[in-house]
């Protein structure tokens, strides 16, 4: 005797449309997160604040930093002295004379240290220099006010 079930038999199906929706959502989320990340080349310094700072996109740039003790850094590499910084800046200028230069100075550093960095930059041919500051409008987000 063969007894049939009152519940109709259905074959299992894998729905692809919701899976595609989830994958597009994940792709868009990862793209937005990766675009919002800022790649910091300079060392961590206590930037001074300013009211007129504007946030700028920093793609291909050179970061020259001065810490509170007056030590100069090229990107994150500490320089022995300002002559070594000038030598490296000369090499970079020979390769790319239109490179963007951002100067990061600790708010507790002596004004003369920033002037020495600016003189080094100008002596090798960089005349378009931006100084990084913390904007009061966007607390915690470093911004660049150009000179």
Residue 84 counted as domain residue = yes
Q: What are phi and psi of 34, to 5 degrees?
A: -70, -30
Domain ranges, residue 93: 49-146
Mean pLDDT of 25-32: 91
Q: Is residue 101 part of a domain?
A: yes
Answer whether residue 86 is part of any domain. Answer: yes
Examine residue 116 and state whether it is found in any structural domain, yes or no. Answer: yes
pLDDT top residue among 96 and 43: 96
DSSP category for residue 9: P
144: part of which helix (H) or strand (E)? strand 142-146
Q: Is 112 helix (H, G, I), strand (E, B) or coil?
A: helix
Query: Does residue 19 fall inside a structural domain?
Result: no
CA distance 89 to 53: 26
CATH of the domain at 83: 3.30.420.270
pTM over 0.85: no
Give the pLDDT score at 146: 43
């Amino acid at each position: 005797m063969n007894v049939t079930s009152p519940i109709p038999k259905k074959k299992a199906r894998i729905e692809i449309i919701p899976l595609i929706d989830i994958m597009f959502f994940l792709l868009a989320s990862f793209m937005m997160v990766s675009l919002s990340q800022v790649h910091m080349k300079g060392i961590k310094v206590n930037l001074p604040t300013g009211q007129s700072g504007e946030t700028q996109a920093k793609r291909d740039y050179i970061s020259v930093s001065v810490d509170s003790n007056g030590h100069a850094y090229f990107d994150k590499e500490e320089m022995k002295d300002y002559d070594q910084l000038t030598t490296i800046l000369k090499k970079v200028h020979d390769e790319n004379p239109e490179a963007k230069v951002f100067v990061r100075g600790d708010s507790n550093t002596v004004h003369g240290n920033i002037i020495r960095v600016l003189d080094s930059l100008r002596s090798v041919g960089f005349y378009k220099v931006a100084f990084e500051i913390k904007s009061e409008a966007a607390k915690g987000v470093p911004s660049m006010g150009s000179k």
